Chain A
């Protein structure tokens, strides 16, 4: 046999290789074939993730207080936080809300690059004691996360939230594209006429996905668009995407946020209340210690709607009936409750007052 000729073995090997390549090409082609050409139009099918209800897993008797107010001094942040949480669960304290091994997401408001004195961000000392309480209750991990308007590094540094988070051994999660996921907030396309804003939307999900409990810790602030920025508006920091478009119908989005998030607990930081020029503030004179109450306070609640209403009236001295998002959120939450969800959403705090579900503790 001359050098140029293929042996039978070589011929078989080459033939088999060619046939295999042709087969792979054909199989691949048919496998990936889009006969109708509509693949580009199909809805993304990536897991229709939804947010959990973080309140559902705790045992909360219907007759217990739902708003607990602690009033004291600036030097008594620890006692304020303990008393506020303790008021909701006199025997268990924080242990009712956080169990051993829980992963707790604590969500402060770090929206702007402001020092703590400016009242535009959560008081870091309040946050410190919330984290400590969670750890005392045996939380396995405490995560602190927010998606600020300005650069996250700067906001977390300037507001001292990063310092407190590091000192207390909590995990700080700064927003980055990898942490966001498109979640189904509402099955239907949002209809502005029905005062809806969110359908499917990118959410700062990775901390929420890990968490078994969520605690919102937001300051009480004036807000030029929606009147007041408190606990429900705080969840705005969980939104990604082009969220600035929502401001055209701000009450729709804030009430949708109230519907979207069912936190384990909210803790209102009314130590430094931003009375005007909100939500950014910028001058010491915009801030009033303790707001209209006159004394630094911390409010804990399992009903963020009623809590916002109470805080609006008592700290900002404004009529909560003018905050349209409270009524809207209450309606949206009522629809969830009718569908079997376990949560509270009472727009008028006086209802709770009549039922004796508001407790006040002096520290």
Chain B
């Protein structure tokens, strides 16, 4: 359908002036703004990598900016924490104009809205009559207010769930977990290996499904589900400007609905809370009956959100009940999962759930890919929050990138000395994420008589938290009986078992017991009077074992000759272990579980250490600089230089 130009035929316009008018049209400017904000979003997400932050530290203030201007993030975290964290004050640049202009964010700024609008424009082609019908206001648009109410009520109790549907969190998360890795897969030559993300398929289905809904209901997410849209809708109730219809000029042709993004009924009483201020209706009106007017007559609008009070109360009840339901599940309290190893600098779990908006910026920036979106390890509340998966990566010693980009302080910004417990933090010791444990049933030296200790090799603390002890074990069926002996050899037969004749011959492979540098075989002699002696084996014949050195006493016939294997068995010093998980990642016992694994046990953010952590963070704020440390002793300065250069 061609839109008639309002002045066609009245004024003769040159082609140049015509195109200039097109360029300066308010909708053209709006599209330009949308392109700019979307490009900014995309650039910020792409720049959120360890390598970029390492090269350009100032970037950390920018990469989460689109999240920081999101008023729902700042209001909801203000409800849970009674504070507005650092950059979240930026949300005022959206919030205050909304009070005057209405929900302009949805069609001028929001990158997720832009994505929906673009996909709808590209793929949804209906007859004009049908388009007008799908753009009429529908009762289903109430749903977002119920969602917002339930989420904010849950926030009052301390469970922050807005991140599930907040459009900015959702688009950041989808790009990090699904879309960028997908784009990276064919472009590995340029960008390096793609990262893996647990449940990427679900993130992919969610964003694809929500975007696909545009083919059924235009801007389905924005109109029906978006809690941020609901918040801005509620805030726009008192807006000074809005779209105003002049009933005298209006011929009730309904063409204003042709491109109405918000389904806000500009053809009759405008639903202020639904209008995205996209200006399409003004462009489309053939009669010039619509305008963006300052304080127009109140009777021409539906100012309130038109939500049924009973349903709103019901939604509130849902939010009220959500809290006891999830907390009574116990996942974040007494039935805390040891798998929930949070990134370094994370606040204590209950505070974490008050702050984390599931935007997954930390996951995006993590250089080793160890940070993964959680499923239900941390309970329903913890869905898509960051936890560490040491099968995929490990927490790199000299890295605090996750805290640098966290917009809400769920992961605190922390200098590297604090993480490592150096300089002024040396009294507190390093930040400990958890503790390594050995699964002795799977560990090669423990259970399979195979030398290994890769875990010790890669352990990054100094001294190493994983150390090894030499241990001797009797080899399977290694007990034999001496027949005859010289000073340094002993000939053996099988140890007699019930029902078998004494003197059953043995048949060793030649040098079966010689061992090498990592595996040492000993022979332990138990004389008949109960005394024992042990010697390293230097080699063997089919039935004779040679030792290094000489026997103190030649084994007499009938003495027990026991073959023992000696190798290094790994141990963990829990006081030194920081839970970085590199041992688990590098463990060669791959299977479904590694033989060494890290759990959240002993994490310094937990309740028992909470006060100490708070204190040191506060102390940090009081010192002038993070990197120098004016009070640091000379010895500390050397340490700092070594770690910071």
0/1 per residue, A195-237, Cβ < 8 Å to B?
0000000000000000000000000000111000000000000
0/1 per residue, A156-187, Cβ < 8 Å to B?
01100000000000000011111000000000
CB contacts (< 8 Å) of A177 on chain B: these are 188, 193
0/1 per residue, A265-281, Cβ < 8 Å to B?
00000000000010111
Shortest distance from the beta carbon of B199 to any chain A beta carbon, whole Å: 22
CB contacts (< 8 Å) of A247 on chain B: these are 452-454, 457, 588
* Contact among B452, B456, B468, B639 for A248, CB-based, below 8 A: B452
Tell me the bound Cα distance from A323 to B518 in angstroms.
11
CB contacts (< 8 Å) of B518 on chain A: these are 225, 248-251
State which of B48-56, B204-212, B244-252, B479-487 sits at the interface with chain A: B48-56
Decide if B189 touches A225 in the complex (CB within 8 Å): no
Find the B residue at minimum CB distance from A160: B645
CB contacts (< 8 Å) of A245 on chain B: these are 588
Shortest distance from the beta carbon of B314 to any chain A beta carbon, whole Å: 49
Find the B residue at minimum CB distance from A195: B516
Decide if A151 touches B192 in the complex (CB within 8 Å): no
Indicate the member of A115, A177, A242, A244 with the most B CB atoms within 10 Å: A244
B interface residues (Cβ-Cβ under 8 A, vs A): 49-51, 54-55, 188-189, 192-193, 367-368, 393-394, 396-399, 444, 450-454, 456-464, 468, 516-518, 582, 586-588, 590, 638-639, 641-645
Decide if B458 touches A113 in the complex (CB within 8 Å): no
Tell me the bound Cα distance from A176 to B193 in angstroms.
5
Decide if B454 touches A282 in the complex (CB within 8 Å): no
Decide if A283 touches B462 in the complex (CB within 8 Å): yes
Tell me the bound Cα distance from A52 to B310 in angstroms.
79
Q: Is the interface of B mostly helix, strand, loop or mixed?
A: loop
Decide if A277 touches B463 in the complex (CB within 8 Å): yes
Tell me the bound Cα distance from A362 to B200 in angstroms.
59
Decide if B450 touches A248 in the complex (CB within 8 Å): yes
Shortest distance from the beta carbon of B426 to any chain A beta carbon, whole Å: 13
Decide if B188 touches A176 in the complex (CB within 8 Å): yes
Decide if B462 touches A279 in the complex (CB within 8 Å): no
A41 close to B (CB within 8 Å): no
Can you report 11 A-B residue pairs in the complex whose CB atoms are below 8 A from each other? A112-B460, A113-B397, A115-B643, A117-B642, A151-B368, A152-B192, A154-B399, A157-B51, A175-B193, A277-B462, A284-B638
A interface residues (Cβ-Cβ under 8 A, vs B): 112-118, 149-154, 157-158, 174-178, 223-225, 242, 244-245, 247-251, 277, 279-284, 286, 322, 324
Find the B residue at minimum CB distance from A225: B457
Find the B residue at minimum CB distance from A156: B51
Decide if B516 touches A251 in the complex (CB within 8 Å): yes
Decide if A118 touches B642 in the complex (CB within 8 Å): yes
CB contacts (< 8 Å) of B452 on chain A: these are 247-248
Decide if A244 touches B587 in the complex (CB within 8 Å): yes
Decide if A280 touches B460 in the complex (CB within 8 Å): yes
Decide if A154 touches B367 in the complex (CB within 8 Å): yes
* Contact among A118, A153, A242, A249 for B49, CB-based, below 8 A: A153
Decide if B462 touches A281 in the complex (CB within 8 Å): yes
Decide if B398 touches A284 in the complex (CB within 8 Å): no
Decide if B457 touches A223 in the complex (CB within 8 Å): yes
* Contact among A149, A153, A174, A223 for B54, CB-based, below 8 A: A153
Find the A residue at minimum CB distance from B444: A248
Decide if A282 touches B399 in the complex (CB within 8 Å): no
Find the A residue at minimum CB distance from B368: A151
Known: A174-B192, A248-B518; 10 extra A-B contacts, CB below 8 A, are: A114-B398, A117-B645, A150-B396, A153-B367, A154-B396, A177-B188, A224-B464, A247-B588, A282-B460, A324-B517
Decide if A280 touches B54 in the complex (CB within 8 Å): no
Shortest distance from the beta carbon of A46 to any chain B beta carbon, whole Å: 18
Decide if A115 touches B459 in the complex (CB within 8 Å): no
Tell me the bound Cα distance from A112 to B457 in angstroms.
11
Tell me the bound Cα distance from A286 to B367 in angstroms.
27
Find the B residue at minimum CB distance from A287: B642
CB contacts (< 8 Å) of B192 on chain A: these are 152, 174-176
Tell me the bound Cα distance from A117 to B5 in angstroms.
72
Tell me the bound Cα distance from A149 to B397 in angstroms.
13
CB contacts (< 8 Å) of A284 on chain B: these are 638-639, 642
Shortest distance from the beta carbon of A204 to any chain B beta carbon, whole Å: 13
CB contacts (< 8 Å) of A151 on chain B: these are 50, 367-368, 393, 396
CB contacts (< 8 Å) of B50 on chain A: these are 151, 153-154
CB contacts (< 8 Å) of A152 on chain B: these are 192
CB contacts (< 8 Å) of B464 on chain A: these are 224, 277, 280
Decide if B51 touches A279 in the complex (CB within 8 Å): no
Tell me the bound Cα distance from A249 to B516 in angstroms.
10
Tell me the bound Cα distance from A178 to B187 in angstroms.
10
Tell me the bound Cα distance from A223 to B368 in angstroms.
24
CB contacts (< 8 Å) of B468 on chain A: these are 224
Shortest distance from the beta carbon of A246 to any chain B beta carbon, whole Å: 8
Decide if A153 touches B462 in the complex (CB within 8 Å): no
Known: A117-B645, A154-B54. A242 touches B396 (CB 8 A): no
Shortest distance from the beta carbon of B186 to any chain A beta carbon, whole Å: 10
Decide if A244 touches B454 in the complex (CB within 8 Å): yes
Tell me the bound Cα distance from A250 to B454 in angstroms.
10
Tell me the bound Cα distance from A114 to B643 in angstroms.
8
Decide if A251 touches B461 in the complex (CB within 8 Å): no
Tell me the bound Cα distance from A68 to B188 in angstroms.
41
CB contacts (< 8 Å) of A251 on chain B: these are 516-518
Tell me the bound Cα distance from A117 to B588 in angstroms.
30
Indicate the member of A113, A149, A151, A250 with the most B CB atoms within 10 Å: A151
Decide if B453 touches A149 in the complex (CB within 8 Å): no
Shortest distance from the beta carbon of B565 to any chain A beta carbon, whole Å: 14
Decide if A150 touches B582 in the complex (CB within 8 Å): yes
CB contacts (< 8 Å) of A281 on chain B: these are 462
Decide if B398 touches A113 in the complex (CB within 8 Å): yes
Tell me the bound Cα distance from A242 to B644 in angstroms.
32
Shortest distance from the beta carbon of A2 to any chain B beta carbon, whole Å: 35
Shortest distance from the beta carbon of B487 to any chain A beta carbon, whole Å: 26
Decide if B396 touches A149 in the complex (CB within 8 Å): no
Shortest distance from the beta carbon of A10 to any chain B beta carbon, whole Å: 33
Tell me the bound Cα distance from A277 to B50 in angstroms.
27
Shortest distance from the beta carbon of B639 to any chain A beta carbon, whole Å: 7
Shortest distance from the beta carbon of A173 to any chain B beta carbon, whole Å: 10
Tell me the bound Cα distance from A280 to B642 in angstroms.
14
Tell me the bound Cα distance from A118 to B588 in angstroms.
27
Decide if B193 touches A324 in the complex (CB within 8 Å): no
Tell me the bound Cα distance from A118 to B453 in angstroms.
22
Tell me the bound Cα distance from A225 to B192 in angstroms.
31
Tell me the bound Cα distance from A205 to B468 in angstroms.
35
Find the B residue at minimum CB distance from A112: B460
Tell me the bound Cα distance from A242 to B594 in angstroms.
14
* Contact among B394, B586, B638 for A244, CB-based, below 8 A: B586
Shortest distance from the beta carbon of B372 to any chain A beta carbon, whole Å: 15
Indicate the member of A118, A247, A251, A322 with the most B CB atoms within 10 Å: A247
Decide if B457 touches A242 in the complex (CB within 8 Å): no
CB contacts (< 8 Å) of B638 on chain A: these are 284
* Contact among B394, B444, B450 for A150, CB-based, below 8 A: B394
CB contacts (< 8 Å) of A280 on chain B: these are 457-460, 462, 464
Find the B residue at minimum CB distance from A114: B398
Find the A residue at minimum CB distance from B645: A115
Tell me the bound Cα distance from A301 to B639 in angstroms.
35
CB contacts (< 8 Å) of A118 on chain B: these are 642
Indicate the member of B55, B462, B590, B641 with the most A CB atoms within 10 Å: B462
Find the A residue at minimum CB distance from B567: A248
Tell me the bound Cα distance from A250 to B518 in angstroms.
8
Shortest distance from the beta carbon of A303 to any chain B beta carbon, whole Å: 22
Sorted from nearest, which 10 A-B pairs have the closest CB atoms?
A282-B462, A151-B367, A153-B51, A176-B192, A283-B462, A324-B517, A247-B454, A245-B588, A151-B368, A117-B642
Tell me the bound Cα distance from A248 to B588 in angstroms.
9
Indicate the member of B50, B54, B458, B461 with the most A CB atoms within 10 Å: B458
Decide if A158 touches B398 in the complex (CB within 8 Å): yes
Tell me the bound Cα distance from A281 to B397 in angstroms.
12
Find the B residue at minimum CB distance from A277: B462
Shortest distance from the beta carbon of A218 to any chain B beta carbon, whole Å: 16
